[in-house]
Structure 1
Amino acid sequence: MKSEPRPSRFWEILRKGKVTEMSVSPTLLRELIEYYNENIGDLPSEDRDKYINGAKNLQRVYTSGSVLDPSTRQLFTNLTNVPITNAYGITEMGGGVTITPDNSALEEGYIGTPLPGTTIKLSDGDRGEILVKSSNMFIKYIDDEAATRAAFDDEGFYKTGDRAHRVGDDYYFDGRVSCDWIRFHEYTINVLELELRLADLPYISEAHVLPVLDHETGGLVAALVRLRKQTANQAYGDISLRHLREDLAAKNMASYKLPTLLRVLRDDEQVPSTASGKVLKNESLRKYFNISGYLSDQYAADGVEYWGNKLDTAASTRLFDWGGL
């Protein structure tokens, strides 16, 4: 399919029952579920079942390109009874690096085990930057020896720039070294963790956490979210930044991790992304928060709520929160 396909188009193809394998980004998988809930789920059973029965001809669904939310995976599996395989891969390795085994548990960040012929090590033992070697990997950047030397360690493993941790033979994705961690005062905030917690809120259908540079604190959390369409049975009212923070705190999220900026997307607004579904975070900050570079001292933007950059004295002081340990 061409880039940026519409969920409606996917469902019409699935309804015909001729597709047996499908590879999509987690973003598109979530959009397929949302489209079903908003446009197909309330159809007469005879019409609705045509879509479900067609989708059940799928034998396998693959996702890659960003983190797969366990709740999204569970919802699609419950809907279609089709197993979902999550993969982690990078272009420099010629594609796949790890893949989740059949019938694996629905765990946050789980990216599976190495593919045959692929060797992985982590920079700090059982955690750290993902370093990869395989027979399919690229060998150099053309006419750029300095970049080539910087891309590999002393043993010839490619430095992916991604972080993970290992439990036994299983790997769990922890984020991109350069952009998935926010330093707020003396604390470190895991962007992926917060995105998953936001997505778990019943009134949010899409959530993105954008790091904002701040001279005083180091970094702030901007939340860019889309609300679920309200129905007679599910009315959430207006969602404010205070409401959002209180709901996250009620789920035992430490107060220093809570968003300090909020922008709610309108129905006609789309988040800038690559063809593979990866969010362009800097562009999103410029477009929806009017932020380029560091946050200004007198920041204000239409449609954006700002909490401020002071550290809440009620923040957890557990030792393992310090420095992201």
Structure 2
Amino acid sequence: MMLFQFLDLQTWTSNYTKSLDNVKNTIQSLITQSSTHPASSKYRKFPNDPLFTRFLATATNHYSNIAVNDPACGVQADYAQLLLDISVLRQTLCESLPGDAVDRDNGTIAHEKGKEGTICIVAPGSYHFIVALFATVVIGGAAVVLPTGLIPEEAYYLYRKCNSACLLVAPGMESLAMGIQDLAHQKDTSIPTIPIKAQQAQSKNHHTDYTIAPDLTFPPSHPALILFSSGSTGPPKAVLHTRQLLYGLAATPQKDDFRPGETALSHRPPFWIAGLRPLLSMLPNGVRFEIVAPGSQAEVLWERLRVEKITILACQPIVWKAMMREFEERIARDSDENVVQEYIDGVRRLRIAQCTGGMPAARVKRFWKDMRSGRELEMVYNTTELGMPPIMSDGEGLVDEPVIGKAVPGITVKLSQGDRGEILVKSPYVFSHYVGDPDTTAAQFDAEGFYKTGDLAHLDNGNYAIQGRATSDFIRFLGIKVPIYEVEAKLNDLPYILEAYVFPVPDSESITRVAALVRLSTEKAEEGLSIQALRDDLSQTLSLYKQPTFLRVLGDGEDVPTTRTVKVDSAETVRRYFSPGALGVQAWDISLLREAKPEKAWDFGGMLA
């Protein structure tokens, strides 16, 4: 039985084509009316705020510099082209939405009481997304960044939750937009859908056609962005950020001094704060964006480092690890000596090399320190709700410890128990609220207004050292808490382990077991590894109760599943490799713990039990 009666593809395609034709006709009409620019003058007047004054200053001084290179879309746009495409889409938005939704005199969205003025963007991390993001923000709208991997039912739910005015749709995303419209049709409603166009005809003096309108301002408290939580514990929460975050990012208040002429490699999806933040902080300050598809393989990232003059790169731990393996197992072994040096030179051109979204293994950090002639990866701690990273490292002396750095100036950080406990943050850039959920919003802050991150840490010589999520990064084995980060770190320290992941696996005897999923070096893989041998090798650095009691070795062609934000998908990994009856799992007999003779007082948990 079908749950929904969808519009047929031919009908939807016809409607979408008419929408495209309307956009083309509007642009052609504008070009006919004006010989200098395809957008009317009022749509080329930008808000008087820190974001756009910085953006226009950069564009004026470097208008012919390439701002975005997106080979997949066939776009290489300078700042003049980017501003032109933003202006044209801004005008298209204002002329396509109902009259009561926009202020056509100023080219801005009309905010009604109780509404956020939201616009949904359906686009991957491409040039089209950048155009749509800035076109939304310039009219005072709040950009709702939809993950592109959603099914229509999920996307429609989020569209309705945010009470959006329309969909902005990038080329290649028409199928998802069609599905959203089909669901709206079942409710006897319609959703305005506007194609995101790029590379319009340029005027000869296009770099002189943009100004700041002194009276066009939006307060810092004005809604600006809506991102979504992962949804791992229920329906995703809609996290609303205000323009205060945009203004702070454009001003780059952190230690990074972004410079015109630098180049950032953009490879992370923009629906994640780590993928979106660079667009708002670097692009207005003159940093060129080299775009590769989100989730690109390590070999693709290496090739761009070798060929392009990349100076800024930020990756998750799993990506830095994959790039390390790519170099060790392919590039260093199979490439000509001169080509290998080109890859190394590409890495050493990186002025900023950051790790976000987790803590890499010490071995991974040591590899990149050696590759970068002694310069370490910089750790960046952030969450969707925080917006701006409150803690960053300076990349000095942190290789062997899970240190994430010190508090960023202008942001207050403390731990709930003095020198340890939950990380609490008070920041002008923290999110405003969860859309439609005031109770959950209130529960995220303590009585002093500090945001409760849910992450545990302790102070180590003035630096914050991460211990994991309070609710998910510990395993209860025989009633004793086992920190996942610590076990993974000790596994990764073993010379024959290339990758190590630790998960809680349900068990009838112990409630949960400590399960290790590892990839071995070629030599060790040929020799084989037993769980007893692994525990013996860990016995000098890890208490007995923390040592794995399940072991699974990854074979050739086997990988660890990841989420849309390129983090390890724990639930899917456990299902794939540790479900009942799964092949290749070694189990250690936990009854042997009763016979064990502990060498250390804390081998069985001591006072932690």
TM-score (normalised: structure 1)? 0.89
Partner SS state of residue 391, structure 2: strand
Counterpart of 1:126 in structure 2 is 419
Distance 1:211 1:24 in 2: 26
- In structure 1, the partner of 2:575 is 286
For 2:527, what is the secondary structure of its paired residue? Answer: coil
**Is the CA contact 2:505–2:578 (under 8 Å) kept in the aligned structure 1?**
no
Q: What is the aligned counterpart of 1:18 among 286, 290, 309?
A: 309
Displacement of 1:49 in angstroms is 1.3
Alignment-mate amino acid for residue 314 of structure 1? K
Asked if the contact 1:68–1:86 (Cα under 8 Å) also holds between the matched residues in 2, the reply is: no
Answer with 42-51 or 31-40: which moved more: 42-51
Aligned partner of 1:54 in structure 2 is 346
Contact 2:391/2:404 (CA < 8 Å) preserved in 1?
Answer: yes
What's the RMSD between the two structures over aligned residues? 2.1
- Paired residue for 1:203? 496
Q: Which residue of 2 aligns with 1:105?
A: 398
1:90 is aligned to 383
Are 1:303 and 2:584 an aligned pair?
A: yes
Distance 1:225 1:73 in 2: 18
Q: Does the aligned pair in 1 maintain the 2:491–2:500 contact within 8 Å? A: yes
Instruction: Select the residue among 508, 511, 533 that pairs with 1:243.
Output: 533
Aligned residue number for residue 114 of structure 1: 407
Q: 1:39 maps to which residue?
A: 330
Pairing 1:254–2:546 present: no
Q: Tell me by how many angstroms 1:235 deviates.
A: 7.0
Cα displacement (A) at 1:168: 4.9
Cα contact 1:162–1:175 (8 A) shared by 2: yes
Q: CA deviation at 1:157?
A: 1.1
- Cα deviation for residue 91 of structure 1 reads 0.9
CA distance in 1, matches of 2:394, 2:347: 22
Q: Deviations over 1:239-262 (max 9, x none)?
A: 12122112112x332221111111
Distance in 1 of aligned mates of 2:602 and 2:342? 54
Unaligned regions of 5+ residues in structure 2, if any? 1-266, 268-292
Tell me which residue corresponds to 1:147: 440
Q: Tell me, what secondary structure is at the counterpart of 1:310? A: helix
Check whether the contact 1:14–1:51 (CA below 8 A) recurs between aligned residues.
Answer: yes
Determine if the alignment matches structure 1 residue 185 to structure 2 residue 466.
no
Helix, strand or coil at the partner of 2:390: strand
Secondary structure of 2:359's counterpart equals coil
* Pairing partner for 1:135 from 423, 428, 437: 428
Amino acid of the structure 1 residue aligned with 2:323 = L
Q: Deviation digits for residues 254-278 of structure 1, max 9, x if unmatched?
A: 2211111111112212212124332
Query: For the Cα contact (< 8 Å) 1:186–1:322, is it kept in 2?
Result: no
Equivalent position of 1:295 in the other structure: none
Q: Deviations over 1:8-60 (max 9, x none)?
A: 11111111251011111111111111111111213332222121122221112
SS state at 1:172 partner = strand
Whether the 8 Å contact between 1:66 and 1:277 is mirrored in structure 2 is no
Task: From the superposition, tell whether residues 174 and 183 of structure 1 become closer, same or farther in structure 2 (CA, over 3 Å).
Answer: same
Q: 1:160-239 alignment to 2 at 5 Å? A: 160-230=453-523, 237-239=527-529
The residue type paired with residue 392 of structure 2 is I
CA gap 1:304/1:132 in 2 versus in 1, 3 angstroms = same
SS at match of 1:37: helix
- Per the TM alignment, residue 213 of structure 1 is displaced from its structure 2 partner at its CA by 3.1
CA contact (8 A) 1:17 1:57 kept: no
Equivalent-residue separation in structure 1 for 2:508 and 2:412 (angstroms) = 41
Distance 1:277 1:290 in 2: 23
Residue type of the alignment partner of 1:128? G
Structure 2: how far apart are the matches of 1:319 and 1:235? Answer: 32
In structure 2, what residue type is equivalent to 1:318?
A
Provide Cα deviations, 1:277-309, integer angstroms capped at 9, x if missing partner.
321212211111115xxxxxxxx4321111134
Task: Give, in angstroms, the shift of residue 150 of structure 1.
Answer: 1.6
Distance in 2 between residues matched to 1:237 and 1:80, nearest whole Å: 33
Q: Which residue identity lines up with residue 356 of structure 2 in the other structure? A: S
Match of 2:601 in 1: 318
Q: Distance in 1 between matches of 2:391 and 2:608?
A: 25
Matched, 1:28 2:312: no
Question: For 1:242 and 1:284, how far apart are their aligned partners in 2?
Answer: 23
- Could you give the per-residue CA deviations for residues 66-117 of structure 1, whole angstroms, max 9, x where no partner exists? 1122321111121232442111111101131200024343242100011122
Give the structure-2-normalised TM-score: 0.49
Tell me if the contact between 1:141 and 1:147 (Cα under 8 Å) persists in the aligned partners.
yes
Contact 2:455–2:469 at 8 Å: present in 1 too?
yes
CA contact (8 A) 1:17 1:55 kept: no
Structure 2 distance, partners of 1:307, 1:102, is: 39
Among candidates 357, 379, 384, match of residue 65 of structure 1 = 357
The one-letter amino acid paired with 1:66 is: G
Q: Return the letter of the residue paired with 1:61.
A: A
Name which one, 1 or 2, has greater alpha-carbon Rg: 2
Structure with the bigger percentage of strand = 1
Letter of the aligned partner of 2:481 in structure 1? T
Alignment check: 8 A CA contact 1:256 1:315 kept: no
Counterparts of 2:506 and 2:607, CA distance in 1? 17
Higher helix fraction (1 or 2): 2
Superposed displacement of residue 311, structure 1: 6.0
Q: Any conservation in 2 of the 1:254–1:316 contact (CA below 8 Å)?
A: no
Deviation at 1:185, TM superposition (A): 2.1
- Which structure has more relative contact order (CA 8 Å, sep 6+)? It is 1
Point out 4+ residue stretches in structure 1 off by more than 6 angstroms. none
Report the alpha carbon displacement of residue 236 of structure 1 after superposing the two structures with TM. 5.4
Taking the aligned partners of 1:199 and 1:169, their CA distance within structure 2 comes to 26
1:266 equivalent in alignment to 2:555: yes
In the superposition, relative to structure 1, how do residues 173 and 98 fare at CA in structure 2: closer, same or farther (>3 Å)? same
Which shifted more, 271-280 or 15-24? 271-280
